[in-house]
C-alpha cells in the first residue's frame, strides 16, 4: 500500500483519520483533498496520490464510519450535512484555514456535492472533480422531470436508473443487508466482484483491513440520506468549478441523471468515457491526469497540452457527444464534411484532415459556427509515415480522440485488366492502407488511454456487390470491411468499437473524379455516371446520420442505402444471384 502519513482531527464529536502523501510543506503548491466512497477508505487513492503529489500537496481522509475514523452507531450521524462539515474541517486543518481542490468518488462525491452547494463554499473549495457520485437533490429533481413528462424516452431513462439503483433498496433493510456483508464482505470476494463486473485489474485494488466492517457501517449512508433526499429535494446552486467525470458503463449510475447539473453549477465541465463505476481502481492514470489538467486549468486559467478541458466545458444541457474529440479524414467534402457537421452539432470537438486544406477549412467554418473547437490539418492518407505523424500531433495537441472516422477514399472503375499499376497502387494505398494506418495509429492511443473509443471505417456496398466494372474498387472496400470486422473483435476487450459503413449510390464529388480504366471516352463515361448519381439524389448528410448512429449504438456493419441493404442480404443468402448480376456493365 501507498506510504501515507496519518494525523487525526476532530469534526464535532467525531475523530477523523486524515492522511498526507509526499511533501506537503510547500505552501505555494495547491492543496488537493481526496474523498472516497463506499466501501473504500483513503486507500482508494493509493495509485492516484503519488501522481498528484508530483504537482500538489495531497491529502485524504477516512470518512466517518470507515477505516481508522470513528464509527457512530446511529443512522442520523451519517446525514449529508454532517459529512459536508467533516470535509470542511479536513480542509481547514490541512490548509491552516485556506482552500483546497477536491477529487471525490462515489459517496465521497455525494457528500462533496452537499459541501459545494453550501453558501460561500467557493471560498474553501477551489474546484471539485466528481466521479460516479451525483448530487442527490439534483437526482431527485431529474427523476421528477422524467415522470412529469412521461414520454417513452423519459420513462426508459427513468426505468434504466431504477434498475441500476435497485441494490440501494436492499441496503435499506437493517439486519438483512448487514448479514449479507458479514457473510460475503471479504477482500477476495470484493476483488473478484470488481474484476468480473468492470475488468478491474486485481493488482490495482487497495483495501483496508477493516473492509468488512466498513461495508456494514457504510450502509448507514444509504439509510440516512436516500429516502429523505428523494422525497424532499432542495437543489441549491454552486459557484465552485465542477468537472463531472461520467462513466458510460457505470453499473450504479446512468449518464442521463447528470443532465440537469448545468442548471445549478455556474462553472461546469463534463468528460465521459466507457469506464465503469470504480474508475480510481480500473484506470487510475487516466483519472489522475484528468484531475491534474482540471486543477491546473482552474489555477492558471489555461490548460496544458493536450488541452482536453476546453472542449469539456458545458454551457447548457449536455448533447449526445459533449466533450468528445473526433478525427475525420477526407473531411473537405462529401460524407466526411457532413459527418463533421453532424458530430459538431452533437458537441464534439473536431479535427479535420484532408489532402485539400482549403476544402477542409470550408468545413471548419461551419463546425466553428456550431460552437465547437475545430482544427484543420493537411494529410495524405496514402503515406503511412504521414498518418503516424498526424496521429501523434493530434495526441500531443488535442489529446487521444474518442471517435475516429477513416473516410478518405477514391474510386476506380472499369476493367481490372486495363488498369495501370499506378492506378492500382494509388487505389489500395488510399482506400486500404490509409484506413489500416489510421485505425492502427489511433487504436494504439485508445488502448493505452484505457477508456474506450470508436473507429469508423468507410467501406462500400461494392464490398459485397461484385461487378465486372468495379472489381478493383470492390476489392479495396472488401478489404476495409473484413479488416474492420476483425479489428472490432481484437479491440472489443478494450471497449473500443469498430464500425464498417457501406454506402450504396451516394452523390458525392468522388464520382466526378473517378477514373475509368479502359474506357474509350473517360470524360463521357464519368459524366453519364455522375448524372445518374445526381438523379439518384441520396445525399451524404443521410450517410452522416447513419455514421453517428453507428458510433452511438456501436454497430458493426451498416449498409446505408436501400440498394446496399438489399445487396448485403442477397450476397449473404443468394450469392449466385450476385454473381449473375456482376456480369452487367456499369454504364449499360
How large a percentage of the chain has pLDDT more than 90? Answer: 72
172's grid cell: 435499506
Q: Which of 312, 337, 368 is the last residue of a domain?
A: 312
pLDDT tens-digit map of 262-280? 999 999 999 888 889 999 9
Residues 338, 193, single domain; the answer is no
- Within-domain flag for 587: no
User: In this predicted structure, which of 170-179, 314-323, 534-543 has the lowest mean pLDDT?
Assistant: 534-543
CA atoms within 13 A on the CB side of 65: 28
Residues 271, 397, single domain; the answer is no
pLDDT exceeds cutoff 60 at 308: yes
- Within-domain flag for 318: no
63 with 130: CB under 8 angstroms?
Answer: no
Q: Which of 312, 346, 373 is the last residue of a domain?
A: 312
Domain residues for 530?
Answer: 325-581
**What's the distance, CA 535 to chain centroid?**
40
478's grid cell: 472488401
563: pLDDT confidence band, cut at 50, 70 and 90?
confident
134: pLDDT confidence band, cut at 50, 70 and 90?
very high
232's grid cell: 424532499
Residues 308, 351, single domain; the answer is no
243 vs 462, residue with greater confidence = 243
CA distance 191 to 307: 35
377 with 351: CB under 8 angstroms?
Answer: yes
With CA atoms as reference, report the closest residue to 246 among 280, 281, 268, 270: 270
465: pLDDT confidence band, cut at 50, 70 and 90?
confident
413 with 512: CB under 8 angstroms?
Answer: no
27's grid cell: 505552501
Residue 270, helix vs strand vs coil: strand
367: pLDDT confidence band, cut at 50, 70 and 90?
very high
- Within-domain flag for 586: no
Q: Determine the pLDDT at residue 507.
A: 52
Residue whose cell numbers read 451498416: 558
Residues 125, 255, single domain; the answer is yes
- Within-domain flag for 319: no
29: left (phi over 0), alpha (psi -120 to 50) or beta: beta
Residues 332, 304, single domain; the answer is no
With CA atoms as reference, report the closest residue to 165 among 132, 194, 198: 132
Residues 278, 373, single domain; the answer is no
CA distance 337 to 362: 9
446: pLDDT confidence band, cut at 50, 70 and 90?
very high
Residue 298 φ/ψ, nearest 5 degrees: -65, -40
Q: What beta strand segments (E) does 421-561 contain? A: 453-458, 496-502, 515-517, 557-559
CA distance 119 to 188: 43
Residues in the chain, total: 588
CA distance 378 to 355: 5
- Within-domain flag for 320: no
Residues 282, 205, single domain; the answer is yes
The highest-confidence range among 129-133, 158-162, 254-258, by mean pLDDT, is 129-133
136: pLDDT confidence band, cut at 50, 70 and 90?
very high
| Helix/strand/coil (H/E/C) assignment for every residue in 292-356 | HHHHHHHHHCCCCCCCCCHHHECCCCCCCCCCCEEEEECCCCHHHHHHHHHHHHCCCEEEEEECC
How large is the average pLDDT for residues 156-171?
90
What is the rounded (10 degree) CA torsion for 528, 473, 485, 409?
-70
148 with 178: CB under 8 angstroms?
Answer: no
| Helix/strand/coil (H/E/C) assignment for every residue in 34-82 | EECCCCCCHHHHCCCHHHHCCCCEEEEECCCCCCCCCCCCCHHHHCHHH
CATH code of the domain covering residue 244: 3.40.50.1820
With CA atoms as reference, report the closest residue to 330 among 467, 198, 509: 509
338's grid cell: 457532413
Residues 393, 292, single domain; the answer is no
- The number of distinct structural domains making up the chain is 2
Residues 480, 577, single domain; the answer is yes
Residue whose cell numbers read 493536450: 306
pLDDT exceeds cutoff 60 at 444: yes
Exposure string for 140-156, b = 16+ CB within 10 A, e = fewer: bbbbeebeeeeeeebee
Residue whose cell numbers read 485508445: 446
Residues 144, 241, single domain; the answer is yes
pLDDT tens-digit map of 320-332? 888 899 999 999 9
CA distance 294 to 248: 20
- Within-domain flag for 559: yes
247's grid cell: 462513466
How large is the average pLDDT for residues 557-582?
79
Residues 111, 253, single domain; the answer is yes
Q: What is the mean pLDDT of the chain?
A: 90
Question: Could you tell me how many helices (H) and strands (E) the chain has, helices first?
Answer: 21, 17
Task: For CA atoms 259, 260, 262, 266, give the dihedral sign.
Answer: negative
Residues 261, 343, single domain; the answer is no
331: left (phi over 0), alpha (psi -120 to 50) or beta: alpha
Pairing of strands 100-105, 31-35: parallel
Q: Which of 312, 339, 356 is the last residue of a domain?
A: 312
Q: Determine the pLDDT at residue 408.
A: 93
With CA atoms as reference, report the closest residue to 39 among 114, 91, 108, 85: 108
CA atoms within 13 A on the CB side of 389: 10
pLDDT exceeds cutoff 70 at 254: yes
How large is the average pLDDT for residues 282-300?
94
- Within-domain flag for 544: yes
57: pLDDT confidence band, cut at 50, 70 and 90?
very high
- Within-domain flag for 507: yes
CATH code of the domain covering residue 340: 3.40.50.720
pLDDT exceeds cutoff 80 at 463: yes
- Which positions are catalytic? 473
Amino acid at each position: 500500500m501507498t506510504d501515507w502519513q496519518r494525523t487525526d482531527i476532530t469534526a464535532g464529536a467525531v475523530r477523523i483519520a486524515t492522511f498526507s502523501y509526499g511533501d506537503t510543506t510547500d505552501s505555494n503548491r495547491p492543496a488537493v483533498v481526496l474523498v472516497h466512497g463506499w466501501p473504500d477508505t483513503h486507500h482508494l487513492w493509493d495509485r492516484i496520490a503519488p501522481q498528484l503529489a508530483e504537482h500538489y500537496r495531497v491529502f485524504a481522509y477516512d470518512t466517518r464510519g470507515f477505516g481508522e475514523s470513528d464509527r457512530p452507531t446511529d443512522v442520523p450521524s451519517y446525514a449529508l450535512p454532517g459529512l459536508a462539515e467533516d470535509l470542511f474541517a479536513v480542509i481547514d486543518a490541512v490548509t491552516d484555514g485556506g482552500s483546497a481542490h477536491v477529487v471525490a468518488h462515489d459517496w465521497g462525491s455525494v457528500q462533496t456535492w452537499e459541501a459545494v452547494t453550501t453558501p460561500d463554499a467557493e471560498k474553501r473549495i477551489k474546484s471539485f472533480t466528481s466521479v460516479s457520485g451525483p448530487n442527490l437533490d439534483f437526482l431527485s429533481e431529474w427523476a421528477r422531470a422524467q415522470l412529469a413528462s412521461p414520454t417513452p424516452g423519459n420513462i426508459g431513462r427513468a426505468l434504466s436508473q431504477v434498475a441500476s439503483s435497485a441494490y440501494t433498496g436492499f441496503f435499506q433493510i437493517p439486519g438483512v443487508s448487514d448479514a449479507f456483508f458479514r457473510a460475503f464482505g471479504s477482500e477476495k470476494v470484493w476483488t473478484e466482484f470488481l474484476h468480473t463486473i468492470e475488468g478491474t485489474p486485481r493488482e490495482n485494488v487497495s483495501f483496508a483491513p477493516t473492509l468488512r466492517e466498513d461495508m456494514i457501517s457504510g450502509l448507514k449512508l444509504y439509510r440516512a440520506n436516500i429516502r429523505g433526499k428523494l422525497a424532499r429535494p432542495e437543489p441549491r446552486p454552486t459557484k465552485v468549478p465542477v468537472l463531472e467525470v461520467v462513466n458510460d458503463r457505470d453499473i450504479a449510475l446512468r449518464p442521463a441523471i447528470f443532465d440537469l447539473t448545468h442548471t445549478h453549477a455556474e462553472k461546469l465541465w463534463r468528460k465521459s468515457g466507457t469506464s465503469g463505476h470504480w474508475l480510481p481502481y480500473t484506470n487510475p492514470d487516466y483519472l489522475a491526469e484528468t484531475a491534474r489538467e482540471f486543477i491546473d486549468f482552474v489555477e492558471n486559467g489555461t490548460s496544458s497540452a493536450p488541452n482536453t478541458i476546453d472542449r469539456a466545458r458545458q454551457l447548457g444541457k449536455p448533447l449526445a457527444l459533449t466533450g468528445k474529440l473526433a478525427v475525420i479524414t477526407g473531411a473537405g467534402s462529401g460524407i466526411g464534411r457532413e459527418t463533421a457537421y453532424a458530430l459538431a452539432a452533437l458537441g464534439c470537438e473536431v479535427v479535420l484532415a484532408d489532402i485539400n486544406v482549403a476544402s477542409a477549412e470550408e468545413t471548419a467554418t461551419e463546425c466553428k459556427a456550431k460552437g465547437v473547437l475545430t482544427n484543420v490539418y493537411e494529410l495524405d492518407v496514402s503515406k503511412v509515415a504521414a498518418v503516424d505523424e498526424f496521429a501523434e500531433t493530434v495526441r500531443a495537441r488535442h489529446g487521444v480522440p474518442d471517435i475516429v472516422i477513416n473516410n478518405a477514399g477514391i474510386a476506380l472503375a472499369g476493367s481490372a485488366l486495363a488498369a495501370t499499376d499506378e492506378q492500382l497502387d494509388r487505389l489500395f494505398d488510399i482506400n486500404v492502407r490509409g484506413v489500416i494506418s489510421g485505425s492502427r495509429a489511433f487504436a494504439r492511443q485508445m488502448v493505452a488511454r484505457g477508456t474506450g473509443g470508436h473507429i469508423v471505417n468507410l467501406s462500400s456496398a461494392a464490398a459485397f456487390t461484385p461487378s465486372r466494372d468495379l472489381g478493383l474498387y470492390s476489392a479495396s472496400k472488401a478489404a476495409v470491411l473484413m479488416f474492420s470486422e476483425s479489428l472490432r473483435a481484437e479491440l472489443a476487450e478494450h471497449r473500443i468499437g469498430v464500425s464498417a459503413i457501406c454506402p450504396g449510390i451516394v452523390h458525392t464529388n468522388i464520382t466526378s473524379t473517378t477514373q475509368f480504366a479502359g474506357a474509350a471516352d473517360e470524360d463521357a463515361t464519368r459524366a453519364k455516371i455522375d448524372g445518374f448519381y445526381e438523379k439518384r439524389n441520396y445525399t451524404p448528410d443521410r450517410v452522416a446520420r447513419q455514421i453517428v448512429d453507428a458510433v452511438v449504438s456501436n454497430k458493426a456493419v451498416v449498409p446505408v442505402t436501400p440498394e446496399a441493404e438489399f445487396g448485403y442480404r442477397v450476397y449473404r443468402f443468394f450469392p449466385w444471384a450476385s454473381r449473375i448480376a456482376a456480369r452487367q456493365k456499369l454504364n449499360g
